[in-house]
Amino acid sequence: MENYSRSLSRLTGESTLLYQEIARNVERTKGIKTINFGIGQPDLPTPKRIREEAKSALDKGFTAYTPALGLDELRSRVAEFLSQRYGDNIVKDEVAITPGAKTALFLAFLTYVNPGDEVILFDPSFYSYAEVVNLLGGKPVYVPIRFDSDRGFYVDVNDVVSRISSKTKMIVYNNPHNPTGMNFDPKLSEELVKISRERNIILLSDEIYDYFVYEGRFKSVLEEEWRNNVIYVNGFSKTFSMTGWRLGYIVARKEVIGKIGILASNIYTCPTSFAQKGALASFDAFDEVKEMIDLFRRRRDVMFSELSKVKDIKVYKSSGAFYMFPDFSSILRNTGLDSKGLAIKLIEDSGVITIPGEVFPERVGTNFLRLSFALGEEKIKEGVERMKIALEKLAG
């Protein structure tokens, strides 16, 4: 029973869920009611019209298998929506529906990454990218995300070019960005598509937070000439608060989608039938989406204001997603803790859950903690105040 796959040994098992488990233990043993800044999902319910459509499908007995690539009508609706949004002519055969955007990412990696291939990741980045690359025997190669007090977090394209080698198979791009909360300069999308095309490298673009934009213009890779080198990933989880529904989608040229269909039929057969019916109603729920984004903008402003009052941390007002990524380096130096140790101390001493930057490999995030503002304004104020008190006690 212990003769496990060698591929499994390449995984660290590190994820944001570890800190949720520590928090549950603190609640159970100390009776502290936790405040969760670690959460990676909207706290609002899925819009009613989406829930009603899924319930209707269940009542009608729509519970059988669907095609491996998803319902034709949902694939067509995604293609139509993206075409209208970005001025392209995307068609159904260039879309695959998946059980969540994380599965979409896994399929994209599985389609292209061979043992020994190099995959360029930004540092910090969503932890799952590196995990899957390692699982497949690939090698993550990191490009640091830089920070400037005026620009915020940014990517220098020269850093990307300098990491490209003869073994580079893919560049992974996430915008708006988890964990920094940055909506990157539109020129970056243009430059990355151009580099990937000229160097014959796959650009995998994860745009799951594309509606959570508070400043600046968001630019999708689908606004460029994308078909030769780009795989686009998105989903319903964040925009429509449908995290537990597990529905994502991939956009790529028709031949690539055909290969993904083969993988899908062998891995999970198909996405959940009635969930896809619910998702069809999401395209009529953008009034609710706008209200949610306005709410999250206010929450971001509250979190920034409260964190700015905490001594010895540096905080930048994020322009996208629903995360803030403050720099705790001064506190870490004074206490001798690393970011993981500090995150655990904050849970144990104040009941506040944060995610240490070390979870988002590799080195750039080591002095940072990620805080989500996907919770109510009063909880944000209380949580930051609890943190402030705990940090003052740690300081002596």
Q: Which of 6-10, 232-236, 346-350, 385-389 has the lowest mean pLDDT?
A: 6-10
CB atoms within 10 A of CB 359: 23
Prior bond of 176 cis (ω within 30°): yes
**What does the chain come to in residues?**
396
pLDDT in the model for residue 5: 87
97-153: pLDDT as tens digits: 999 999 999 999 999 999 999 999 999 999 999 999 999 999 999 999 999 877 889
8-45+287-395 and 49-284, same CATH topology: no
pLDDT in the model for residue 7: 86
Two tokens at 7? 């591929």
Distance CA 115, CA 367 (A): 32
Residue 4 has pLDDT above 90, yes or no: no
Per-residue confidence at 96, pLDDT binned at 50, 70, 90? very high
Residue 244 has pLDDT above 80, yes or no: yes
pLDDT in the model for residue 52: 98
Any idea which residue has 């000439």 for tokens?
Answer: 225
280-336: pLDDT as tens digits: 999 999 999 999 999 999 999 999 999 999 999 999 999 999 999 999 999 999 999
Distance CA 129, CA 283 (A): 28
Prior bond of 326 cis (ω within 30°): no
Residue 396 has pLDDT above 90, yes or no: no
Residue 220 has pLDDT above 80, yes or no: yes
Q: In terms of pLDDT, which residue wins out, 26 or 329?
A: 329
Q: Average of pLDDT values for 361-370?
A: 92
pLDDT in the model for residue 9: 82
CB atoms within 10 A of CB 195: 18
Distance CA 274, CA 258 (A): 23
**Domain covering 8-45+287-395 assigned CATH 3.40.50.10330 in the classification:** no
Residues of the chain above pLDDT 90, percent: 89
Range list of β-strands (E), 39-189: 95-98, 118-123, 139-144, 146-148, 152-154, 168-174
49-284: CATH topology: Aspartate Aminotransferase; domain 2 (3.40.640)
Q: Average of pLDDT values for 197-226?
A: 97
Residue 1 has pLDDT above 80, yes or no: no
Q: Average of pLDDT values for 262-267?
A: 98
Per-residue confidence at 385, pLDDT binned at 50, 70, 90? very high
Any idea which residue has 């609640």 for tokens?
Answer: 27
Residue 14 has pLDDT above 70, yes or no: no
Q: Average of pLDDT values for 11-24?
A: 80
33-49: pLDDT as tens digits: 999 999 889 999 999 99
Indicate the domain borders of the chain. Answer: 8-45+287-395, 49-284
pLDDT in the model for residue 356: 95
At residue 162, the 3 state secondary structure works out as helix
The DSSP element (H or E) to which 360 belongs, if any, is none
3-state secondary structure 384-396: HHHHHHHHHHHHC
Task: List the one residue out of 319, 330, 320, 340 whose CA is nearest residue 391.
Answer: 330
